[in-house]
Amino acid sequence: MESSVEKDKVNILGLESPFYSPNIISIKAGEVLTFDNIDANFHTVTSGTQEYGPDGTFDSGLLKAGDTFELTLDKPGTYQYYCTIHPNMVGTIIVS
């Protein structure tokens, strides 16, 4: 079965798990990753964790329904992110 998720794209699903699809994504350093808010609610894509808050690496600001956010990460590593409005919404980007 083929996945309907596009390469280098994350759909923001909203308040039901898995919240972001895919929830964990692997990309290469320098690639553009696009987040697409397909939910009817406002959301953010903010680096950090719900426990410790934003870490300042990236922040989409408020994304309304239909908005997109493009992100380029040049440094390999694992990046945690969450929605500051709905902190239970979390995801991970692995950059190689």
Residue-wise pLDDT for 38-81, tens only, equals 999 999 999 999 999 999 999 999 999 999 999 999 999 999 99
CB 73 within 8 A of CB 27: yes
**Domain at 21, CATH number:** 2.60.40.420
Work out the end-to-end distance of the chain between its first and last CA atoms, rounded to an integer number of angstroms: 26
Give the pLDDT confidence score for residue 2 in this predicted structure. Answer: 36
CB 7 within 8 A of CB 40: no
Which residues, in sequence order, are CB contacts of 37 under 8 Å at separation 6+?
A: 12, 43, 63, 64, 65, 66, 67, 68, 69
Residue with tokens 């979390």: 90
In a domain, 2, yes or no: no
pTM of the model: 0.90
In a domain, 4, yes or no: no
Number of domains in the chain: 1
Across 20-25, average pLDDT: 94
Residue type, 89: M
Residue range of the domain that includes 41: 9-95
Q: Is the model more confident about 14 or about 39? A: 39
In a domain, 33, yes or no: yes
Give the pLDDT confidence score for residue 19 in this predicted structure. Answer: 92
